[in-house]
Amino acid sequence: MTYDARAVANYFLELGNAESIRITPMAMQKFVYFAHGWMLGVYERPLISQRIEAWDYGPVISDLYHAFKQFGNQPITEPAKVFQIAGTTIRVTHPGIPKYQDPKVTDLLGRVWEAYKHFTAIQLSNMTHAPDSPWSTARKNNQPFIDDDLIKRYFSALPR
């Protein structure tokens, strides 16, 4: 099962709020990217349903960008919303990941949080720009998206 990237982001916001750690939009992009990468590397399955794009300044999940762009480089203060339109009705929800649904997922998200929560957004961004990283490989090959197989190979090879 894959999740909406906004649900994963909202989960990280909950973890951050519980520890009074504020997360900027750029840092959130990296948290979700790393979580997706580790899910592919450890469990060989994707975490999020959205594709990761290779933007000029790093890997980006477009839905997250649009959900949090109003915060600029300031901390995110509200969870991501999803707008669902049915006929003339617009329903707004805050997607989330139920803690009981898949213990592997919530365990992995907790481990990603513990590993990366003390890095600044710039430090996290620099990690995604490492030579031979999935982002740098996609950019070098002029690919607009970062292929999950590339991400999986990269994270599978990292020490755990």
Please give the average pLDDT of every successive group of 10 residues along the chain, which has 160 residues.
93 96 98 98 97 96 96 96 66 62 90 98 97 96 98 94
pLDDT of residue 46: 98
Q: Are 134 and 150 in contact (CB under 8 A)?
A: yes
> In the chain, what is the straight-line distance between the N-terminal and C-terminal CA atoms, in Å?
23
Cα separation of 28 and 10, whole Å? 9
Domain hosting residue 36, numbered range: 5-157
Per-residue pLDDT reduced to its tens digit, 54-88: 999 999 999 999 999 999 999 999 999 876 666 66
Distance separating alpha carbons of residues 73 and 155, to the nearest angstrom: 27
Residue 157: per-residue pLDDT: 95
**In the block, residue with structure tokens 């002029």:** 142
The answer, as to whether pTM is greater than 0.85, is yes
Task: Give per-residue burial for 30-40: e unless 16+ CB within 10 Å, then b.
Answer: bbbbbbbbbbb
